[in-house]
Protein backbone atom coordinates (compact mmCIF):
# COMPACT_ATOMS: atom_id res chain seq x y z
CA UNK A 1 0.00 0.00 0.00
CA UNK A 2 1.48 3.32 -0.97
CA UNK A 3 -0.33 4.91 2.03
CA UNK A 4 0.55 8.39 3.13
CA UNK A 5 4.02 7.98 1.66
CA UNK A 6 2.43 8.57 -1.71
CA UNK A 7 2.42 12.25 -0.79
CA UNK A 8 5.87 12.23 -2.34
CA UNK A 9 5.93 15.98 -2.82
CA UNK A 10 6.18 16.51 0.90
CA UNK A 11 8.36 13.56 1.63
CA UNK A 12 12.11 14.04 1.36
CA UNK A 13 14.29 11.02 1.12
CA UNK A 14 17.80 12.26 1.68
CA UNK A 15 19.82 9.65 -0.06
CA UNK A 16 23.49 10.26 -0.52
CA UNK A 17 24.59 11.13 -4.04
CA UNK A 18 26.66 7.92 -4.08
CA UNK A 19 23.52 5.89 -3.46
CA UNK A 20 21.55 7.71 -6.10
CA UNK A 21 24.34 7.01 -8.58
CA UNK A 22 24.53 3.34 -7.74
CA UNK A 23 20.88 2.37 -7.61
CA UNK A 24 19.42 5.32 -9.54
CA UNK A 25 15.92 4.64 -8.26
CA UNK A 26 13.22 7.23 -8.69
CA UNK A 27 11.58 8.65 -5.59
CA UNK A 28 8.46 6.75 -6.51
CA UNK A 29 10.39 3.48 -6.62
CA UNK A 30 11.95 4.21 -3.27
CA UNK A 31 8.61 5.08 -1.76
CA UNK A 32 7.12 1.91 -3.13
CA UNK A 33 9.90 -0.01 -1.50
CA UNK A 34 9.17 1.67 1.81
CA UNK A 35 5.48 1.00 1.30
CA UNK A 36 6.00 -2.69 0.61
CA UNK A 37 6.61 -3.29 4.26
CA UNK A 38 3.32 -1.73 5.29
CA UNK A 39 1.31 -4.84 4.56
CA UNK A 40 3.13 -7.51 6.61
CA UNK A 41 1.35 -6.56 9.83
CA UNK A 42 -1.91 -7.81 8.34
CA UNK A 43 -0.18 -10.93 7.06
CA UNK A 44 1.45 -11.50 10.43
CA UNK A 45 -1.87 -11.02 12.16
CA UNK A 46 -3.35 -13.80 10.07
CA UNK A 47 -0.33 -15.99 10.73
CA UNK A 48 -0.44 -15.36 14.47
CA UNK A 49 -4.03 -16.59 14.60
CA UNK A 50 -2.99 -19.77 12.82
CA UNK A 51 0.00 -20.31 15.10
CA UNK A 52 -1.45 -19.23 18.45
CA UNK A 53 0.09 -22.22 20.23
CA UNK A 54 3.61 -21.39 19.10
CA UNK A 55 6.23 -20.46 21.68
CA UNK A 56 7.66 -16.95 21.78
CA UNK A 57 10.62 -16.52 19.39
CA UNK A 58 9.71 -19.70 17.57
CA UNK A 59 9.29 -17.86 14.34
CA UNK A 60 9.74 -20.73 11.98
CA UNK A 61 6.22 -21.98 11.41
CA UNK A 62 5.60 -25.50 10.27
CA UNK A 63 4.43 -24.15 6.93
CA UNK A 64 7.81 -22.65 6.14
CA UNK A 65 8.74 -25.45 3.76
CA UNK A 66 5.47 -24.95 1.94
CA UNK A 67 5.74 -21.19 1.46
CA UNK A 68 9.52 -21.11 0.96
CA UNK A 69 12.07 -19.17 2.95
CA UNK A 70 11.78 -16.00 0.85
CA UNK A 71 8.05 -15.79 1.37
CA UNK A 72 8.49 -16.38 5.11
CA UNK A 73 11.11 -13.64 5.26
CA UNK A 74 8.81 -11.21 3.43
CA UNK A 75 6.01 -11.92 5.87
CA UNK A 76 8.20 -11.26 8.86
CA UNK A 77 9.75 -8.05 7.61
CA UNK A 78 9.03 -4.90 9.59
CA UNK A 79 9.25 -1.25 8.70
CA UNK A 80 11.40 0.15 11.50
CA UNK A 81 12.05 3.82 12.19
CA UNK A 82 15.45 4.15 13.85
CA UNK A 83 15.42 7.45 15.74
CA UNK A 84 19.00 8.39 16.60
CA UNK A 85 21.27 7.27 13.78
CA UNK A 86 24.65 7.65 15.48
CA UNK A 87 27.12 4.92 16.35
CA UNK A 88 24.62 2.46 17.78
CA UNK A 89 21.74 3.23 15.44
CA UNK A 90 23.97 2.40 12.50
CA UNK A 91 25.32 -0.70 14.21
CA UNK A 92 21.79 -2.07 14.68
CA UNK A 93 20.70 -1.05 11.20
CA UNK A 94 23.34 -3.25 9.59
CA UNK A 95 21.64 -6.32 11.03
CA UNK A 96 18.08 -5.06 10.54
CA UNK A 97 18.69 -4.52 6.84
CA UNK A 98 20.48 -7.86 6.48
CA UNK A 99 17.43 -9.56 7.97
CA UNK A 100 15.24 -7.93 5.32
CA UNK A 101 13.61 -5.19 7.38
CA UNK A 102 13.05 -1.73 5.96
CA UNK A 103 14.89 0.89 8.00
CA UNK A 104 13.80 4.51 8.04
CA UNK A 105 16.39 6.61 9.85
CA UNK A 106 16.07 9.96 11.54
CA UNK A 107 18.65 11.90 13.54
CA UNK A 108 19.71 15.36 14.65
CA UNK A 109 22.70 15.34 12.30
CA UNK A 110 22.63 14.53 8.61
CA UNK A 111 23.53 10.85 8.39
CA UNK A 112 22.06 10.41 4.91
CA UNK A 113 25.31 9.12 3.42
CA UNK A 114 25.71 6.49 6.15
CA UNK A 115 22.06 5.51 5.75
CA UNK A 116 22.43 5.04 2.01
CA UNK A 117 25.56 3.02 2.56
CA UNK A 118 23.70 0.71 4.92
CA UNK A 119 20.61 0.39 2.71
CA UNK A 120 18.39 2.55 4.94
CA UNK A 121 16.34 5.65 4.10
CA UNK A 122 17.22 8.88 5.88
CA UNK A 123 14.57 11.43 6.84
CA UNK A 124 15.75 14.82 8.06
CA UNK A 125 12.22 15.81 8.98
CA UNK A 126 10.46 13.75 11.67
CA UNK A 127 7.06 14.58 10.13
CA UNK A 128 8.07 12.82 6.93
CA UNK A 129 9.35 9.87 8.92
CA UNK A 130 6.11 9.48 10.87
CA UNK A 131 3.98 9.82 7.76
CA UNK A 132 5.60 6.63 6.45
CA UNK A 133 3.73 4.81 9.25
CA UNK A 134 6.51 2.52 10.51
CA UNK A 135 5.47 -0.66 12.34
CA UNK A 136 8.09 0.03 14.99
CA UNK A 137 9.74 3.22 16.19
CA UNK A 138 13.05 2.31 17.77
CA UNK A 139 14.58 4.98 19.99
CA UNK A 140 18.38 4.78 19.72
CA UNK A 141 19.27 8.30 20.75
CA UNK A 142 21.54 9.17 23.68
CA UNK A 143 20.08 8.72 27.16
CA UNK A 144 20.56 12.41 27.86
CA UNK A 145 18.65 13.53 24.75
CA UNK A 146 15.93 10.86 24.84
CA UNK A 147 13.20 13.00 26.34
CA UNK A 148 13.75 15.98 24.02
CA UNK A 149 13.98 13.71 20.97
CA UNK A 150 10.84 11.77 21.88
CA UNK A 151 8.86 14.93 22.51
CA UNK A 152 10.00 16.36 19.16
CA UNK A 153 8.35 13.48 17.26
CA UNK A 154 4.93 14.23 15.81
CA UNK A 155 3.44 11.00 17.14
CA UNK A 156 -0.04 12.05 16.02
CA UNK A 157 1.14 11.33 12.46
CA UNK A 158 1.86 7.70 13.32
CA UNK A 159 -0.69 4.90 13.20
CA UNK A 160 -2.54 4.68 16.49
CA UNK A 161 -1.26 1.19 17.25
CA UNK A 162 2.43 1.84 16.61
CA UNK A 163 4.99 -0.15 18.60
CA UNK A 164 7.60 1.97 20.36
CA UNK A 165 10.80 0.34 21.54
CA UNK A 166 14.06 1.68 22.91
CA UNK A 167 17.59 0.39 23.42
CA UNK A 168 18.78 2.85 26.06
CA UNK A 169 21.33 1.40 28.45
CA UNK A 170 19.19 2.38 31.43
CA UNK A 171 15.64 1.10 31.60
CA UNK A 172 13.40 2.64 34.26
CA UNK A 173 13.87 6.11 32.84
CA UNK A 174 12.73 5.34 29.24
CA UNK A 175 9.92 3.11 30.58
CA UNK A 176 8.46 5.99 32.58
CA UNK A 177 9.13 8.44 29.77
CA UNK A 178 7.43 6.32 27.08
CA UNK A 179 4.46 5.58 29.34
CA UNK A 180 3.96 9.25 30.11
CA UNK A 181 4.65 10.71 26.65
CA UNK A 182 2.90 8.28 24.29
CA UNK A 183 -0.79 7.79 23.61
CA UNK A 184 -2.29 4.84 25.49
CA UNK A 185 -2.97 2.94 22.27
CA UNK A 186 0.74 2.59 21.49
CA UNK A 187 2.58 -0.59 22.38
CA UNK A 188 5.84 -0.25 24.34
CA UNK A 189 8.78 -2.64 24.64
CA UNK A 190 11.86 -1.51 26.56
CA UNK A 191 15.04 -3.33 25.64
CA UNK A 192 18.75 -3.31 26.26
CA UNK A 193 20.99 -5.24 23.91
CA UNK A 194 23.92 -5.69 26.28
CA UNK A 195 26.56 -5.48 23.61
CA UNK A 196 27.98 -2.96 21.19
CA UNK A 197 30.10 -2.62 18.07
CA UNK A 198 33.21 -3.62 20.03
CA UNK A 199 31.93 -6.53 22.11
CA UNK A 200 29.78 -7.92 19.26
CA UNK A 201 32.38 -7.60 16.56
CA UNK A 202 32.04 -11.32 15.80
CA UNK A 203 28.25 -11.49 15.98
CA UNK A 204 25.49 -11.33 18.56
CA UNK A 205 25.38 -15.06 19.32
CA UNK A 206 25.12 -15.83 23.05
CA UNK A 207 25.11 -12.15 24.06
CA UNK A 208 22.39 -11.01 26.49
CA UNK A 209 19.37 -9.10 25.22
CA UNK A 210 17.20 -7.76 28.05
CA UNK A 211 13.58 -6.84 27.33
CA UNK A 212 10.44 -5.83 29.16
CA UNK A 213 7.10 -5.94 27.32
CA UNK A 214 5.82 -2.88 29.12
CA UNK A 215 2.55 -2.70 27.15
CA UNK A 216 1.53 -4.93 24.28
CA UNK A 217 -2.12 -4.77 23.24
CA UNK A 218 -4.04 -7.99 23.67
CA UNK A 219 -4.74 -8.82 20.05
CA UNK A 220 -3.03 -11.30 17.73
CA UNK A 221 -1.62 -8.67 15.36
CA UNK A 222 0.04 -6.71 18.15
CA UNK A 223 1.41 -9.80 19.83
CA UNK A 224 2.73 -11.05 16.50
CA UNK A 225 4.41 -7.71 15.81
CA UNK A 226 6.03 -7.70 19.25
CA UNK A 227 7.30 -11.24 18.69
CA UNK A 228 8.57 -10.32 15.22
CA UNK A 229 10.50 -7.40 16.70
CA UNK A 230 12.00 -9.45 19.52
CA UNK A 231 12.62 -12.23 17.02
CA UNK A 232 15.20 -9.99 15.29
CA UNK A 233 17.51 -10.50 18.26
CA UNK A 234 16.52 -14.10 18.89
CA UNK A 235 17.37 -14.95 15.27
CA UNK A 236 20.87 -13.59 15.76
CA UNK A 237 21.31 -16.01 18.68
CA UNK A 238 21.08 -13.47 21.50
CA UNK A 239 20.38 -14.82 24.98
CA UNK A 240 16.87 -13.43 25.49
CA UNK A 241 16.37 -12.25 29.09
CA UNK A 242 12.90 -11.03 30.04
CA UNK A 243 13.25 -8.79 33.08
CA UNK A 244 11.54 -5.77 34.60
CA UNK A 245 13.15 -2.41 33.90
CA UNK A 246 13.69 -1.87 37.65
CA UNK A 247 15.52 -5.17 38.03
CA UNK A 248 17.65 -4.40 34.97
CA UNK A 249 18.82 -1.14 36.50
CA UNK A 250 19.87 -2.81 39.76
CA UNK A 251 21.99 -5.35 37.87
CA UNK A 252 23.26 -2.83 35.30
CA UNK A 253 24.70 -0.56 38.00
CA UNK A 254 26.85 -3.48 39.14
CA UNK A 255 27.78 -4.79 35.73
CA UNK A 256 27.76 -1.95 33.23
CA UNK A 257 28.30 1.21 35.28
CA UNK A 258 31.03 -0.46 37.35
CA UNK A 259 32.78 -1.77 34.23
CA UNK A 260 32.65 1.62 32.50
CA UNK A 261 33.81 3.45 35.64
CA UNK A 262 36.81 1.19 36.12
CA UNK A 263 37.62 1.50 32.40
CA UNK A 264 37.50 5.28 32.61
CA UNK A 265 39.58 5.40 35.81
CA UNK A 266 42.22 3.25 34.14
CA UNK A 267 42.11 5.49 31.06
CA UNK A 268 43.12 8.42 33.28
CA UNK A 269 46.36 6.53 34.00
CA UNK A 270 47.21 6.53 30.28
CA UNK A 271 48.40 2.94 30.46
CA UNK A 272 50.72 1.79 27.71
CA UNK A 273 51.54 -1.64 26.39
CA UNK A 274 54.93 -2.87 27.66
CA UNK A 275 57.31 -5.65 26.53
CA UNK A 276 56.30 -7.66 29.64
CA UNK A 277 52.50 -7.39 29.58
CA UNK A 278 50.78 -10.02 31.72
CA UNK A 279 47.42 -11.45 30.69
CA UNK A 280 45.80 -9.50 33.50
CA UNK A 281 47.34 -6.27 32.24
CA UNK A 282 46.21 -7.02 28.68
CA UNK A 283 42.69 -7.43 30.06
CA UNK A 284 42.93 -3.97 31.62
CA UNK A 285 44.12 -2.44 28.34
CA UNK A 286 41.20 -4.08 26.52
CA UNK A 287 38.78 -2.78 29.15
CA UNK A 288 40.00 0.76 28.51
CA UNK A 289 39.51 0.30 24.75
CA UNK A 290 36.04 -1.24 25.11
CA UNK A 291 34.66 1.36 27.48
CA UNK A 292 36.30 4.54 26.20
CA UNK A 293 35.23 3.92 22.60
CA UNK A 294 31.67 4.68 23.76
CA UNK A 295 30.70 8.34 24.01
CA UNK A 296 31.01 10.19 27.32
CA UNK A 297 27.30 11.01 26.94
CA UNK A 298 26.57 7.30 27.18
CA UNK A 299 28.65 6.91 30.34
CA UNK A 300 27.17 10.05 31.86
CA UNK A 301 23.69 8.71 31.09
CA UNK A 302 24.48 5.48 32.95
CA UNK A 303 25.25 7.61 36.00
CA UNK A 304 22.56 10.29 35.74
CA UNK A 305 19.64 8.05 34.84
CA UNK A 306 20.23 4.97 36.96
CA UNK A 307 19.13 5.42 40.56
CA UNK A 308 21.57 2.76 41.69
CA UNK A 309 24.73 4.31 40.23
CA UNK A 310 25.42 6.82 43.00
CA UNK A 311 25.48 4.08 45.63
CA UNK A 312 27.76 1.98 43.43
CA UNK A 313 30.18 4.90 43.09
CA UNK A 314 30.24 5.32 46.88
CA UNK A 315 30.92 1.60 47.33
CA UNK A 316 33.76 1.82 44.82
CA UNK A 317 35.32 4.71 46.76
CA UNK A 318 34.90 2.78 50.01
CA UNK A 319 36.57 -0.27 48.44
CA UNK A 320 39.53 1.81 47.21
CA UNK A 321 39.92 3.40 50.66
CA UNK A 322 39.74 -0.03 52.35
CA UNK A 323 42.50 -1.42 50.17
CA UNK A 324 44.69 1.65 50.78
CA UNK A 325 44.00 1.49 54.52
CA UNK A 326 45.11 -2.15 54.64
CA UNK A 327 48.39 -1.23 52.96
CA UNK A 328 49.07 1.85 55.07
CA UNK A 329 48.10 0.13 58.36
CA UNK A 330 50.71 -2.54 57.60
CA UNK A 331 53.31 0.11 56.74
CA UNK A 332 52.63 1.98 59.98
CA UNK A 333 53.01 -1.24 61.99
CA UNK A 334 56.49 -1.76 60.56
CA UNK A 335 57.51 1.87 61.15
CA UNK A 336 56.15 1.86 64.69
CA UNK A 337 58.10 -1.31 65.53
CA UNK A 338 61.29 0.31 64.19
CA UNK A 339 60.68 3.62 65.97
CA UNK A 340 59.47 2.45 69.37
CA UNK A 341 60.59 -1.15 69.79
CA UNK A 342 64.05 -0.86 68.23
CA UNK A 343 63.46 -3.69 65.80
CA UNK A 344 65.95 -3.79 62.89
CA UNK A 345 64.97 -2.14 59.64
CA UNK A 346 62.93 -4.40 57.38
CA UNK A 347 65.10 -6.33 54.91
CA UNK A 348 63.81 -7.98 51.79
CA UNK A 349 63.29 -11.34 53.52
CA UNK A 350 61.19 -9.74 56.24
CA UNK A 351 59.23 -7.84 53.62
CA UNK A 352 58.47 -11.01 51.69
CA UNK A 353 57.02 -12.66 54.80
CA UNK A 354 55.40 -9.58 56.27
CA UNK A 355 51.82 -9.52 57.43
CA UNK A 356 51.08 -7.34 54.40
CA UNK A 357 51.48 -10.25 52.00
CA UNK A 358 49.72 -12.77 54.19
CA UNK A 359 46.62 -10.87 55.11
CA UNK A 360 43.74 -11.05 52.69
CA UNK A 361 42.23 -7.72 51.83
CA UNK A 362 38.97 -7.21 53.73
CA UNK A 363 36.09 -8.80 51.90
CA UNK A 364 38.27 -10.22 49.13
CA UNK A 365 39.06 -13.87 49.83
CA UNK A 366 40.92 -14.25 46.52
CA UNK A 367 43.34 -11.40 46.98
CA UNK A 368 46.31 -13.61 47.97
CA UNK A 369 46.89 -15.07 44.56
CA UNK A 370 45.56 -12.36 42.34
CA UNK A 371 48.80 -11.77 40.50
CA UNK A 372 49.46 -15.45 39.75
CA UNK A 373 45.90 -16.01 38.60
CA UNK A 374 45.83 -13.01 36.35
CA UNK A 375 48.98 -13.83 34.46
Beta bridge partners of 105: 82, 122
Q: Does 193 bind ligand NAP (CB under 6 A)?
A: yes
Q: Which of 93, 298, 309, 312 contacts ligand NAP by CB under 6 A? A: 298
- Window of 6-14, 45-53, 102-110, 123-131 that interacts with ligand NAP by CB under 6 A: 102-110
Number of residues that bind ligand NAP (CB under 6 A): 26
- Window of 40-48, 121-129, 179-187, 296-304 that interacts with ligand NAP by CB under 6 A: 296-304
Q: Which of 15, 44, 85, 137 contacts ligand NAP by CB under 6 A? A: 85
Q: Does 294 bind ligand NAP (CB under 6 A)?
A: yes
Q: Does 27 bind ligand NAP (CB under 6 A)?
A: no
Q: Does 182 bind ligand NAP (CB under 6 A)?
A: no
Output 106 or 215, the one with its CB closest to ligand NAP.
Answer: 106
Q: Which of 34, 80, 118, 140 contacts ligand NAP by CB under 6 A? A: 140
- Contact assessment for residue 132 and residue 79, using Cβ atoms and an 8 Å cutoff: yes
Output 135 or 294, the one with its CB closest to ligand NAP.
Answer: 294
Element of type H or E holding 82: strand 79-83
Q: Does 87 bind ligand NAP (CB under 6 A)?
A: yes
Q: Does 84 bind ligand NAP (CB under 6 A)?
A: yes
Q: Does 210 bind ligand NAP (CB under 6 A)?
A: no
Phi, psi of 124 (to 5 degrees): -75, -30
Q: Does 11 bind ligand NAP (CB under 6 A)?
A: no
Residue window 149-178: x/- pattern of binding to ligand NAP, with contact defined by CB under 6 A:
x-----------------xxx---------
Residues that bind ligand NAP (CB under 6 A): 84-89, 107-109, 140-143, 145, 148-149, 167-169, 193, 196, 294-295, 297-298, 301
Amino acid sequence: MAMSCSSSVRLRLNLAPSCRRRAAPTNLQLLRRVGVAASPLRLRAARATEGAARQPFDHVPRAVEEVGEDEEQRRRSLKIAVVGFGNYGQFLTRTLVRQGHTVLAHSRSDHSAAAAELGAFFFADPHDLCECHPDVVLLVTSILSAEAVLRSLPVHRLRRDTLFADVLSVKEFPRNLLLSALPEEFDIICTHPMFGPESARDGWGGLPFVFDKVRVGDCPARRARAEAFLGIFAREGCRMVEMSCAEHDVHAAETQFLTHTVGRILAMLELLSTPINTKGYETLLRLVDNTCSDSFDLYNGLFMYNNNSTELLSRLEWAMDSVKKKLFDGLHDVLRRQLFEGSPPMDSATAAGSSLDDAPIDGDPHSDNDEEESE
